[in-house]
Structure 1
Amino acid sequence: MPSWRTIQSMTFPSQSSKVTTKVKEGARKLDKILIRRIPVNLRGFEVGHFWIEFLHEDENEIDESMKAFRRIRKKERDIVNERGKPLKIATKANGFRESYGWYPVETPFQPLNIFNKQLIISSAGTLNGDHHKRREKDYKEELTELTPTQDRNAGRKTVNNDHSSRAFDPHQNGHHHPENIKFTTNPYVLPGDKRSDEEIFNDIRTFVKQFDEKKQEWSWRNDNYKETNCHTLLFLLLAHCNLADPDCIGMGLDEHFKSYKTSLDSLNKSKVNKQLQERMVLMKKLLDISLKAKSMK
């Protein structure tokens, strides 16, 4: 049930200043942020992906130069120089939705890792798949046009890039193909959190930038505590930024989260490194605030 708080009411001189009013207060839904999930489906050979999106009113505004590029059907490789630097810097969103997710730089299957105690499915990681090895695949792809609706290998991690004024995850094109996204929820903030949407956007931007700067790997081991992938980034982001997920994690619907947290909880906290200790704390926090937000709805 939503919590109740007691506040001092406005009173007239003839009334006591001790008169109080109970105001019903619950968790606040963030309508301008979407949590997107495509779970791993091993039976269907679906790799899956988790990411987060911000809704901006101006996301469909288009630069005149981009209009011209699209009109004459230029490809990605046509708008960068020989060093991969953009010929034009985007000043508008150009239809690309601001979004963030974690990707492997290259094919993550590394069987020789078994000899150096690393996960077999692992690679260097990068925010939004923005790496020259992934960009090169898009440059070579004849069908990759300058449109936010197309599939692509590389998004962009910085603002004012060759495609958009905003950073974007390659999967952002899913909002043009909603049938491909299995599960979408909105995060919530708990009572007392007075941050504006833009302040929360900035908190998320800061977190993902710092995560990327730490040169984290991308790895997968079926939700084991050793992995770091798009699920991990999303869970850590939500917990670090105090964003509850009552409609998925709070409802016990995210199997990846449940398995990952169970794996972390099996560890002896005093015998693991600082990063794992921090992740143990943050996963507990995310579950706690999500359950609390659920109880307030």
Structure 2
Amino acid sequence: MDFWITGEGVTQAASLASYTAIHFPRQLSRVRLKRIPFWGKGILQQGGAIQDKPRGPGHYWVEIDHNDPNTKESYGWYPAADITGMESKKDQLSAMWDVEGCINGDSKARRAADKKSQENKKKYELLAGRGIGHQPYPYDPNHGNPDARSVQPLYLGLTDQRAETAVIDEIRAFAAAYKDQSGGRWSYRLDSFGENNCHTFIWRLLHDCQLIDLELLNADIDPHFDKLRGLVLKEAAKGAVFGGPGVIVATTTSTARRLIKPDYVDQLVAHTTMTRDELKRRNWL
């Protein structure tokens, strides 16, 4: 049965809006998911290099708009160590495998690295943002970065009538609790499900806060998404350089990439597919 707001004084537009709020996916106006992938699809092919001008290992984060360019609020998950500043390549690779993590890169090591090279740092090359408890809001060091390759609005699913302010409060609560819930570690493990980094932070946020990213399965944006679709990356990233010349991230199609998927992965895929199908059916996409 369809439920409409009707009655004396209720316009047709208001009635239609009430139906839409219940039966259609609703786009959030203040929340944006942003991505700077480390590499693009077809890395071994022409035009598929890491980035035209490599600036780092890439990043995913979520931003909340306050309609004020001077007010920043955003959340992402980082290694607490200044990995690229380590002199030993062995230490760099070891840290990539497992190191302490922190919200928004707000650690003593990353702040110190920023301070040490403050004169040479550009606005979006800072290592440390500000973490939980910062006033007025925490913010990711990449907040507003124009190099974001993908900027996506997030959606609420069918029948989800939460107010956007309530959703934003849930995002804040998720970020505040993430260090404890995740064990406080950051890791990159050749795209296996056993890792815990900015990708998995965002995927857990989408799941726990019941949000939908329509581009979640688009491997043209970032080949990490092939993992969510149950696919193993077929192209070895043997040409990918991390942290400067001499450090090669050699990845192979191996069992390490095919660890058992967490339950949240299938739920994210299902919600994304269902929402895209519904929007296409209504010619909203």
What is the TM-score normalised by the length of structure 2?
0.69
In structure 1, stretches of 5+ residues that fail to align are 13-21, 61-94, 269-278
Residue 237 (str. 1) matches residue 211 (str. 2)? no
Give the match's secondary structure for 1:207: helix
What is the distance in 1 between the residues matched to 2:219 and 2:269?
9
Q: 1:105 maps to what in 2? A: 80
Q: Report which stretch shifted further, 192-201 or 126-135.
A: 192-201
Q: Which is higher, the Rg of structure 1 or of structure 2?
A: 1
Distance in 1 between residues matched to 2:24 and 2:91, nearest whole Å: 52
CA-CA distance at 1:224 after TM superposition: 1.0
Shift of 1:127: 0.6
Deviation at 1:170, TM superposition (A): 0.5
**Matching residue of 1:74:** none
> Equivalences for 1:4-19 in 2 at 5 Å?
6-7=2-3, 10=6
Identity %: 25
Q: How far apart are 1:205 and its partner, in Å?
A: 1.0
Measured after TM superposition, the shift of residue 157 of structure 1 is 1.1
1:219 paired residue among 187, 198, 207: 187
Corresponding position of 1:32: 30
- For 2:137, the equivalent position in structure 1 comes to 166
2:223 is the alignment partner of 1:255 = yes
Write the distance in 2 (CA, Å) between the matches of 1:106 and 1:119: 8
Conserved? CA contact 1:128–1:169, under 8 Å = yes
Matched residue type, 1:106: A
Matched, 1:186 2:150: no
Q: Secondary structure, in 3 states, of the residue corresponding to 2:142?
A: helix
1:48 corresponds to: 58
Structure 1 position 249, deviation (Å):
1.5
Q: Residue in 2 aligned with 1:286? A: 268
State whether structure 2 residue 108 is matched by structure 1 residue 132: yes
Counterpart pick for 1:206 among 173, 181, 186:
173
Match of residue 131 from structure 2: 157
Structure 1 residues 231 and 296: CA distance shift in structure 2, 3 A: same
Paired residues for 1:87-102 under 5 Å? 95-102=70-77
Report the alpha carbon displacement of residue 137 of structure 1 after superposing the two structures with TM.
1.4
Query: What is the count of residue pairs matched by the alignment?
Result: 226
**Compared CA separation, residues 130 and 144, structure 1 to 2 (3 A):** farther
In 2: Cα distance, 1:201 partner to 1:144 partner = 35
Aligned to 2:46: none
Note the C-alpha offset of 1:144.
7.2
Q: Distance in 1 between matches of 2:263 and 2:273?
A: 16
Structure 1 counterpart of 2:118, one-letter code = E
Letter matched to residue 239 of structure 1: H
1:173 Cα deviation from its structure 2 partner = 3.7
Assess if the C-alpha contact under 8 Å between 2:217 and 2:225 holds in 1.
no
Change (3 A) 1:167 1:8: closer
**For residues 81-133 of structure 1, what are the alpha-carbon distances to aligned partners after superposition, in whole Å with 9 as ceiling and x for unaligned?**
xxxxxxxxxxxxxx24200001111144884799xxx8863321111001111
Deviations 1:251-273 (A, max 9, x none): 555421322563799445xxxxx
- SS of the counterpart of 1:139? helix
Name 1:273's counterpart in structure 2. Answer: none
- The structure-2 alpha-carbon separation of the partners of 1:122 and 1:11, relative to structure 1 and needing over 3 Å to count, comes to closer
User: Residues 259 and 173 of structure 1: is their aligned pair in 2 closer, same or farther, counting only changes over 3 Å?
Assistant: same
Task: Return the alpha-carbon distance in structure 1 between the equivalents of residues 258 and 116 of structure 2.
Answer: 45
CA distance change for structure 1 residues 231 and 160 in 2, over 3 Å: closer, same or farther? closer
Instruction: Pick closer, same or farther for the CA change 1:256–1:194 going to 2, 3 Å.
Output: same
**Structure 2 spans left out of the alignment, 5+ residues:** 9-17, 44-48, 233-255, 280-285
User: Structure 1 27/125 Cα, relative in aligned 2: closer, same or farther at 3 Å?
Assistant: same
Distance 1:6 1:54, change over 3 A: same
Q: What do you get for the CA RMSD once the two structures are aligned? A: 3.2
Query: Normalising by structure 1, what TM-score?
Result: 0.66
Q: Deviations over 1:234-258 (max 9, x none)?
A: 0110011110111x11555542132
Distance 1:55 1:280, change over 3 A: same
